[in-house]
């Protein structure tokens, strides 16, 4: 016979992973099911409504509980064994239909999450293409700040990547559109890189020839400092590190644009690392961090310092820097993943 059971607030009906063949019907009170989202891994909570069954799937399927059932306030429940529950259901088609509806909704949610997970896995297999596509998506949606960030990150991680040249073109196009806040589109008279970006699917708004919103020549062209910076990035992507280094240095000594000075300081460190000048690289990044304690690439700079120590076979110092990165960045950040991988390699060696 099914049994009436009372649970006090803050008690647990069952834990995730428990092997339990009981089905529960909530008569009164509040119960929440805590589980991990398939897609994000985050903790999720489902509130059980009065009159609802829970614990059904694992009990019938005879597999461990997938969630933890927590009692939020004093609750009364009816507890069924599997044969008792089956008997009740067979005698009440209304219950069957209600449960099928619930299970159908759950399956649709799980299928959607699995599609997203599989899509993410495809990008994870080729993170280079995935990062570039993110930039293209934002460019097409006219969210230029996000597009610039994604393409700049792409060039940071894949300076000689498959899409490095197109990333440079897209950066220039995004900066042009950002200056006019999307008020104009590339025309046949504009530079080839803007036309290439438009041909790649950028849906920029059109302006008529009678529009009073004209753009000055200074707005149409990137600043001289910006052009110099992206030329240096292009040289880096071609593995012409010494030439790139000189370009970045000239931007810093020119002192004309604080934004590109800060960016160039970071790129100088990358050049030094690529040229295997590890002591100079460490010294440079140390000075940069002191000058720009809130530099947007601060954590990346720390990673390069750790990598320099690792190249010099000082694995203990390298690991200390990698661990510092873990404390300063989120787990889903690319630099965090790189630091974790580096630690695993060091500890496994």
> What is the DSSP annotation of 124-143?
HHSHHHHHHHHHHHHHHTT-
| Calpha distance 262→257 (Å, rounded) | 9
List of residues 6+ apart from 132 with CB closer than 8 A: 150, 151, 154, 161, 163, 166, 167
CA distances from 53 to 26, 27, 224, 268 (A): 7, 10, 68, 63
Asked if residue 219 has pLDDT above 80, the reply is: no
List of residues 6+ apart from 139 with CB closer than 8 A: 147, 170, 173, 174, 197, 202
pLDDT of residue 111: 53
Structure confidence at residue 98 as a pLDDT band (50, 70, 90): low
Structure confidence at residue 243 as a pLDDT band (50, 70, 90): very high
Asked if residue 201 has pLDDT above 50, the reply is: no
Give the mean pLDDT of 128-142.
79
pLDDT of residue 193: 29
| pLDDT tens sequence across 38-70 | 545 567 788 888 888 888 888 887 878 888 999
Asked if residue 7 has pLDDT above 90, the reply is: yes
Whose tokens are 């239909």? That residue is: 97
Structure confidence at residue 96 as a pLDDT band (50, 70, 90): low
Q: Is the model more confident about 160 or about 225?
A: 225
The mean of the pLDDT values for the chain is 76
CA distances from 87 to 80, 96, 251, 290 (A): 10, 12, 80, 73
List of residues 6+ apart from 335 with CB closer than 8 A: 299, 300, 303, 325, 329
Give the mean pLDDT of 192-196.
31
pLDDT of residue 105: 55
pTM (2 decimals)? 0.44
Q: Is the model more confident about 203 or about 130?
A: 130
pLDDT of residue 37: 62
pLDDT of residue 52: 85
Tokens of residue 334, six digits? 């690319």
| pLDDT tens sequence across 9-45 | 989 999 988 888 899 999 999 999 888 765 455 677 8
- Hey, where are the domains in the chain? 3-122, 128-205
pLDDT of residue 50: 86
Give the mean pLDDT of 88-108.
63
Residue 46 Rama label (left phi>0; alpha psi -120 to 50; beta): beta
Residue 59 contacts residue 65 (beta carbons within 8 Å): no
Structure confidence at residue 246 as a pLDDT band (50, 70, 90): very high
pLDDT of residue 256: 80
CA distances from 86 to 2, 92, 282 (A): 12, 10, 69
| Calpha distance 297→286 (Å, rounded) | 13
Residue 302 contacts residue 333 (beta carbons within 8 Å): no
| pLDDT tens sequence across 253-274 | 988 888 888 889 999 999 999 9
Q: Check: CATH 2.60.120.10 for 3-122?
A: yes
Asked if residue 107 has pLDDT above 60, the reply is: no
| Calpha distance 310→316 (Å, rounded) | 8
Q: How many CA atoms lie within 13 A of 287 on its CB side?
A: 11
């Amino acid at each position: 016979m099914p049994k009436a059971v009372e649970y006090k607030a803050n008690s647990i009906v069952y834990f995730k992973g428990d092997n339990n063949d009981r089905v529960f019907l909530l008569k009164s009170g509040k119960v929440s099911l805590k589980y991990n989202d398939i897609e994000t891994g985050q903790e999720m909570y489902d509130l059980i409504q009065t009159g609802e069954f829970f614990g059904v799937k694992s009990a019938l399927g005879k597999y461990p509980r997938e969630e933890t059932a927590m009692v939020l306030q004093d609750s009364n429940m009816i507890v069924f064994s599997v044969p008792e529950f089956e008997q009740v259901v067979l005698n009440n088609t209304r219950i069957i239909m209600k449960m099928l509806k619930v299970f159908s909704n759950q399956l649709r949610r799980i299928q959607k999450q699995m599609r997203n997970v599989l899509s993410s896995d495809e990008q994870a297999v080729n993170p280079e293409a995935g990062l570039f596509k993110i930039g293209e998506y934002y460019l097409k949606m006219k969210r230029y700040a996000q597009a610039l960030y994604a393409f700049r990150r792409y060039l940071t991680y894949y300076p000689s990547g498959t899409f490095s040249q197109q990333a440079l073109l897209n950066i220039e196009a995004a900066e042009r559109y950002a200056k006019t806040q999307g008020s104009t589109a590339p025309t046949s008279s504009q530079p080839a890189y803007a036309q290439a970006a438009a041909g790649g699917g950028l849906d920029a708004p059109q302006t008529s020839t009678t529009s009073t919103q004209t753009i000055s020549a200074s707005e149409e062209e990137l600043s001289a400092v910006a052009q110099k910076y992206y030329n240096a990035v292009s040289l880096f992507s071609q593995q012409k590190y010494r030439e790139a280094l000189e370009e970045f240095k000239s931007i810093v000594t020119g002192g004309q644009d604080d934004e590109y000075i800060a960016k160039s300081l970071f790129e100088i460190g990358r050049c030094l690392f690529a040229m295997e000048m590890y002591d100079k690289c460490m010294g440079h990044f140390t000075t940069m961090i002191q000058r720009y304690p809130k530099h947007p690439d601060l954590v990346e700079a720390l990673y390069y310092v750790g990598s320099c120590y690792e190249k010099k076979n000082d694995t203990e110092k390298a690991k200390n820097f990698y661990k510092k990165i873990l404390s300063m960045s989120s787990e889903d950040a690319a630099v965090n993943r790189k630091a974790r991988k580096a630690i695993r390699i060091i500890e496994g060696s």
